[in-house]
Structure 1
Amino acid sequence: MSAVLIRILTCDGLAGGEICGEEFGGDTGFLPLVTLRRRAREAGWRRRRRGRDLCPACVKDGAR
Protein backbone atom coordinates (compact mmCIF):
# COMPACT_ATOMS: atom_id res chain seq x y z
CA MET A 1 0.00 0.00 0.00
CA SER A 2 1.20 3.50 -0.71
CA ALA A 3 -0.05 7.00 -0.02
CA VAL A 4 0.51 10.24 -1.86
CA LEU A 5 0.00 13.72 -0.47
CA ILE A 6 -1.58 16.06 -3.01
CA ARG A 7 -2.12 19.71 -2.05
CA ILE A 8 -4.73 21.67 -3.97
CA LEU A 9 -6.05 25.22 -3.53
CA THR A 10 -9.71 25.66 -4.46
CA CYS A 11 -11.22 29.01 -5.43
CA ASP A 12 -13.86 30.29 -3.00
CA GLY A 13 -15.06 33.12 -5.25
CA LEU A 14 -18.68 33.41 -6.28
CA ALA A 15 -19.25 33.09 -10.03
CA GLY A 16 -22.88 33.55 -11.03
CA GLY A 17 -24.08 32.97 -7.48
CA GLU A 18 -22.20 29.68 -7.06
CA ILE A 19 -18.74 28.89 -5.73
CA CYS A 20 -16.21 28.95 -8.58
CA GLY A 21 -14.28 25.80 -7.56
CA GLU A 22 -11.26 26.40 -9.84
CA GLU A 23 -8.25 24.44 -8.58
CA PHE A 24 -4.51 25.07 -8.42
CA GLY A 25 -1.84 22.52 -7.55
CA GLY A 26 -2.22 18.80 -7.73
CA ASP A 27 1.48 17.96 -7.90
CA THR A 28 2.00 14.43 -6.65
CA GLY A 29 5.41 15.25 -5.17
CA PHE A 30 5.59 16.65 -1.65
CA LEU A 31 5.19 20.39 -1.95
CA PRO A 32 5.28 22.54 1.19
CA LEU A 33 2.18 24.70 1.55
CA VAL A 34 4.31 27.86 1.57
CA THR A 35 5.72 26.91 -1.84
CA LEU A 36 2.28 26.09 -3.22
CA ARG A 37 0.91 29.46 -2.08
CA ARG A 38 3.93 31.29 -3.56
CA ARG A 39 3.43 29.57 -6.94
CA ALA A 40 -0.30 30.30 -6.84
CA ARG A 41 0.39 33.99 -6.13
CA GLU A 42 2.80 34.09 -9.08
CA ALA A 43 0.01 32.61 -11.22
CA GLY A 44 -2.41 35.37 -10.18
CA TRP A 45 -4.19 33.72 -7.24
CA ARG A 46 -4.98 35.86 -4.19
CA ARG A 47 -5.60 34.92 -0.57
CA ARG A 48 -8.30 37.03 1.09
CA ARG A 49 -8.93 37.67 4.74
CA ARG A 50 -10.44 34.77 6.64
CA GLY A 51 -8.52 32.30 4.47
CA ARG A 52 -10.46 32.55 1.21
CA ASP A 53 -8.53 31.79 -1.99
CA LEU A 54 -9.47 33.44 -5.29
CA CYS A 55 -8.40 32.33 -8.77
CA PRO A 56 -7.23 34.92 -11.34
CA ALA A 57 -10.66 35.00 -13.07
CA CYS A 58 -12.48 35.78 -9.81
CA VAL A 59 -9.85 38.38 -8.85
CA LYS A 60 -10.37 40.03 -12.24
CA ASP A 61 -14.17 39.93 -11.87
CA GLY A 62 -13.96 41.41 -8.37
CA ALA A 63 -15.46 38.35 -6.64
CA ARG A 64 -15.45 38.57 -2.87
Structure 2
Amino acid sequence: MRVDPSNVDQRGYWDGASGEYWARRADRFEEGVADYDFVSSMGSAPADRVLDIGCRQRCHDPRRRPPGR
Protein backbone atom coordinates (compact mmCIF):
# COMPACT_ATOMS: atom_id res chain seq x y z
CA MET A 1 0.00 0.00 0.00
CA ARG A 2 1.30 3.45 -0.88
CA VAL A 3 1.62 5.62 2.20
CA ASP A 4 2.23 9.35 2.07
CA PRO A 5 5.71 10.10 3.46
CA SER A 6 4.15 12.22 6.22
CA ASN A 7 2.38 9.10 7.55
CA VAL A 8 5.21 6.56 7.41
CA ASP A 9 5.91 6.82 11.15
CA GLN A 10 2.23 6.26 11.99
CA ARG A 11 2.05 3.22 9.73
CA GLY A 12 5.07 1.75 11.51
CA TYR A 13 3.54 2.51 14.90
CA TRP A 14 0.17 0.88 14.15
CA ASP A 15 1.62 -2.04 12.17
CA GLY A 16 3.95 -2.96 15.04
CA ALA A 17 3.64 -3.85 18.71
CA SER A 18 1.47 -0.82 19.51
CA GLY A 19 -1.12 -1.80 16.92
CA GLU A 20 -1.16 -5.35 18.24
CA TYR A 21 -1.66 -4.05 21.79
CA TRP A 22 -4.68 -1.96 20.77
CA ALA A 23 -6.15 -4.68 18.55
CA ARG A 24 -5.99 -7.30 21.32
CA ARG A 25 -7.75 -4.92 23.71
CA ALA A 26 -10.22 -3.32 21.29
CA ASP A 27 -13.29 -4.60 23.12
CA ARG A 28 -12.01 -3.23 26.42
CA PHE A 29 -11.38 0.20 24.91
CA GLU A 30 -14.80 0.19 23.23
CA GLU A 31 -16.50 -0.70 26.52
CA GLY A 32 -14.70 2.19 28.21
CA VAL A 33 -16.38 4.77 25.98
CA ALA A 34 -19.61 2.95 25.06
CA ASP A 35 -21.81 5.11 27.28
CA TYR A 36 -20.24 8.41 26.28
CA ASP A 37 -22.14 10.38 23.63
CA PHE A 38 -19.34 12.14 21.78
CA VAL A 39 -21.66 13.85 19.30
CA SER A 40 -23.91 15.41 21.95
CA SER A 41 -20.95 16.46 24.08
CA MET A 42 -19.60 18.78 21.42
CA GLY A 43 -22.74 20.90 21.42
CA SER A 44 -23.72 20.56 17.78
CA ALA A 45 -27.29 21.03 16.61
CA PRO A 46 -29.12 18.43 14.49
CA ALA A 47 -28.77 20.55 11.34
CA ASP A 48 -25.02 21.15 11.83
CA ARG A 49 -22.49 19.50 9.55
CA VAL A 50 -19.64 17.78 11.37
CA LEU A 51 -16.40 16.37 9.99
CA ASP A 52 -15.10 13.44 12.03
CA ILE A 53 -11.34 13.15 11.63
CA GLY A 54 -10.82 10.75 14.53
CA CYS A 55 -10.29 7.04 14.62
CA ARG A 56 -12.85 4.81 12.98
CA GLN A 57 -14.62 3.39 15.98
CA ARG A 58 -17.48 1.00 15.99
CA CYS A 59 -20.79 2.63 16.76
CA HIS A 60 -22.74 0.66 19.37
CA ASP A 61 -26.05 2.37 18.60
CA PRO A 62 -27.41 0.74 15.41
CA ARG A 63 -29.58 3.80 14.71
CA ARG A 64 -26.45 5.94 14.34
CA ARG A 65 -24.27 3.53 12.35
CA PRO A 66 -23.25 4.51 8.84
CA PRO A 67 -24.76 2.28 6.13
CA GLY A 68 -22.87 -1.01 5.81
CA ARG A 69 -21.35 -0.95 9.33
Q: Same fold (TM over 0.5)?
A: no
Q: TM-score, normalising length from structure 1?
A: 0.27
Larger strand proportion, structure 1 or 2?
1
Structure showing the higher helix proportion among its residues: 2
| Structure exhibiting the larger radius of gyration computed from Cα positions | 2
Higher RCO by CA contacts (8 Å cutoff, separation 6 or greater): 1
